[in-house]
Structure 1
Amino acid sequence: MTSTTLRSLNEPLEHTSAGAKAATLARLTAAGLPITEGVVIPVGYPDGLLPSAVAEILKNCAAPHGLIARSSAVAEDGTSASYAGLYTSRICLAHPTALLDAVRAVRASVHNPAVAAYSRALGAEASPPQMAVLVQPVLRPACAGVLAADITRGSWRIEAVHGLAEPLVSGSRTGEIHTAGPDGQAAVRPTTQSVLLLPGTPQELTMPPGEWVTLVPGSATTAKVQTSGSGILHLYTPGALSEGPVLADDLRARLLTVAAQAADVLGLEHIDIEWAITPDGQLHLVQARPLTVPLTDAAASAPLTDAQVLHGIPAAPGTGAGPATFDADTASRVLVCGALDPGAVAALLARPAAVVATTGGPLSHTAIITRELGIPCVTNVTDALTAIAPGTLLEVDGSAGTVRLASAVPTQRTEPPRSLASVAVLTRALDTTAPTDGRAATILWYDPDGPTTAGHEHPVGVLLPGDLPAPVTVPATHRPLRLPGMGVLLWASDAAPPPAEIAVLDPEGEILYRRAVPHAAN
Structure 2
Amino acid sequence: MIKDELIKPLEELVDNDLSLCGNKAKNLYILQKNGLSIPRSWIILNVYIEELLSNIMEGNGVPIDCFKEARDIVSSLSYSLDSKLKRAVSNFAISKRKYVIRSSNVLEDKKNSSFAGMFTTYINESYTYNIFKSIISIWVESFSERVYEACKLYGITHIHPCSILIQELVNTDVGGVIFDDGEKQYLNSYYGQVKSVVDGVNEPDQWLIKDGTILEKKVVEKKSALYPVFSRSNPSNGDKFDLMHMGQGYQGIVKSINSYEGIIEINLPNTLLEDATLSDIHVIKIQQNAIKAKNLLGIETFDIEWAIDDKGQFFFLQIREVSRKIQYFNLLNDTQGIPLVSGEAIGIVQYVFNEQDAINFKDGSIILADTINGAVIQAMVRAVGVLVVSKSMLSHSSIIAREFGIPCVGLSSKFDIELDSLYKIDGTEGVFKKLGKNMYDLIRDDRKQYDKQDAIFKYASFFDDLLVIPDEWLE
TM-score tier by shorter-chain length is 0.7 to 0.9
Q: Report if aligned partners of 1:6, 1:41 keep a CA contact under 8 Å in 2.
A: yes
On the 8 A contact 1:164/1:197 being kept in 2, the answer is: yes
Which residue of the partner structure matches residue 108 of structure 1? 140
Give the C-alpha shift of residue 28 in structure 1.
0.9
2:154 corresponds to which of 91, 108, 122: 122
* Cα shift at 1:82: 0.7
Q: How big is each residue's C-alpha offset from its partner over 1:274-311, in whole Å with a ceiling of 9 and x where there is no partner?
A: 0111122211110000110011223999x98xxxxx73
1:119-164, Cα deviation, whole Å (9 max, x unpaired): 1112244x2431111111111111111111023x2x1111111100
Q: How far apart in 2 are the matches of 1:136 and 1:330? A: 42
Structure 2 counterpart of 1:71, from 93, 103, 107: 103
Q: Which residue of 2 aligns with 1:207?
A: 235
Match status 1:325 vs 2:350: yes
> 1:32, CA displacement in angstroms?
1.2
SS at match of 1:369: helix
Q: 2:99 corresponds to which letter in structure 1?
A: L
Distance 1:342 1:193, change over 3 A: farther
Q: Secondary structure at the match of 1:142?
A: strand
- After superposition, the Cα gap between the structure-2 partners of 1:210 and 1:344, relative to the gap in structure 1 and judged at 3 Å, is farther
C-alpha separation between the residues in 1 aligned to 2:382 and 2:197? 24
The answer to whether the aligner puts 1:50 opposite 2:80 as a matched pair is no
Instruction: After superposition, give the CA deviation of every residue in 1:375-420 in whole Å (9 maximum; x if it has no partner).
Output: 21111355x634x433433232212212244463899xxxxxxxxx
SS in 2 for 1:177: strand
Report the counterpart of residue 95 of structure 1 in structure 2.
127
Runs of 4+ in 1 over 6 A off after TM superposition: none
Which ranges in structure 1 are unaligned for 5 or more consecutive residues? 305-309, 412-522
* 1:187 equivalent in structure 2: 216
- CA distance in 2 between partners of 1:232 and 1:390 (Å): 31
- 1:118–1:349: 8 Å Cα contact kept in structure 2? no
* Deviation of the 1:243 alpha carbon: 3.4
- Farther-moved stretch of structure 1 (107-116 vs 15-24): 15-24
Shift of 1:242: 1.3
Work out whether 1:281 is the aligned partner of 2:281.
no
Matches within 5 A, 1:349-368: 349-368=380-399
The residue type equivalent to 2:348 in the other structure is: P
CA distance in 1, matches of 2:140, 2:9: 22
Shift of 1:176: 1.4
Find the aligned partners of 1:70 and 1:357 in 2 and give their Cα distance.
24
1:7 aligns with 8
What CA distance in whole angstroms lies between the structure 2 residues aligned with 1:111 and 1:169?
22
1:224 and 2:253 correspond? yes
Sequence identity percentage: 23
For residues 401 and 181 of structure 1, the distance between their equivalents in structure 2, rounded to whole angstroms, comes to: 24
Q: Which sits farther off after the overlay, 159-168 or 216-225?
A: 216-225
Choose from 187, 196, 200 the match for 1:171: 200
The answer on 1:378 being equivalent to 2:409 is yes
Note if contact 1:75-1:130 (Cα within 8 Å) is conserved in structure 2: no
Report deviation, 1:63: 5.7
1:107-506 alignment runs, 5 A limit: 107-125=139-157, 127-151=158-182, 153=183, 155-180=184-209, 184-203=213-232, 205-216=233-244, 220-228=249-257, 229=259, 230-298=261-329, 311-327=336-352, 328=357, 329=361, 331-337=363-369, 339-340=370-371, 342=373, 345-346=376-377, 348-380=379-411, 385-386=415-416, 388-406=417-435, 408=442
Per the TM alignment, residue 347 of structure 1 is displaced from its structure 2 partner at its CA by 5.3
Contact 1:342 1:365 in 2 (8 A): no
Q: Secondary structure at the match of 2:47?
A: coil
Partners of 1:354 and 1:88 lie apart in 2 by 26
Q: Is the 8 A contact 1:161 1:168 kept in 2?
A: yes
Q: Matches of 2:96 and 2:331 in 1, distance apart? A: 48
1:17 aligns with 2:20: yes
Please state whether the residue corresponding to 1:294 is helix, strand or coil: coil
Deviation by residue 1:317-350 (Cα, 9 ceiling, x = unmatched): 222222222343253211234x435466345544
Q: How many Å separate the matches in 2 of 1:33 and 1:56?
A: 28
Cα distance in 2, alignment partners of residues 300 and 67 from structure 1: 35
CA drift at 1:256: 0.4
Return the offset for 1:184.
4.4
Stretch moving more, 208-217 or 244-253: 208-217
Aligned position for 1:26: 29
The answer to whether the 8 A contact 1:63-1:137 is kept is no
Cα distance 1:262–1:113, how it changes in 2: closer, same or farther (>3 A)? same
- How many residue pairs match? The answer is 393
Cα drift, residue 257 of structure 1: 0.4
User: Residues 300 and 109 of structure 1: is their aligned pair in 2 closer, same or farther, counting only changes over 3 Å?
Assistant: closer
Q: Secondary structure at the match of 1:223?
A: strand
Distance 1:220 1:256, change over 3 A: closer
Q: Distance in 2 between matches of 1:314 and 1:180?
A: 19
Q: Which amino acid aligns with 1:49?
A: K
* Secondary structure in 2 matching 1:389: coil
Task: Name the structure, 1 or 2, with higher relative contact order (CA <8 Å, separation 6+).
Answer: 2
Cα distance 1:15–1:331, how it changes in 2: closer, same or farther (>3 A)? farther
Counterpart secondary structure, 1:139: coil
Q: Is the 8 A contact 1:270 1:291 kept in 2?
A: yes
Contact 2:212-2:284 within 8 A present in 1 as well: no
Describe the SS at the equivalent of 1:210: coil
- After superposition, the CA RMSD in angstroms is 3.0
Q: Which residue of 1 aligns with 2:52?
A: none
Does the Cα contact within 8 Å between 1:277 and 1:283 map onto a contact in 2?
yes
SS, match of residue 111 in structure 1 = coil
Q: Residue 7 of structure 2 aligns to which amino acid in structure 1? A: L
Residue pair 1:93, 1:202 contacting (<8 A) in 2 also: no
Provide the TM-score with structure 2 as the length reference.
0.75
Unaligned runs of 5+ in 2: 50-76, 78-82, 436-440, 447-475
Instruction: Tell me, yes or no, if the aligned pair for 1:91 and 1:102 is still in contact at 8 Å.
Output: no
Q: CA, structure 1 residues 103+216, in 2 after alignment: closer, same or farther (shift >3 Å)?
A: same
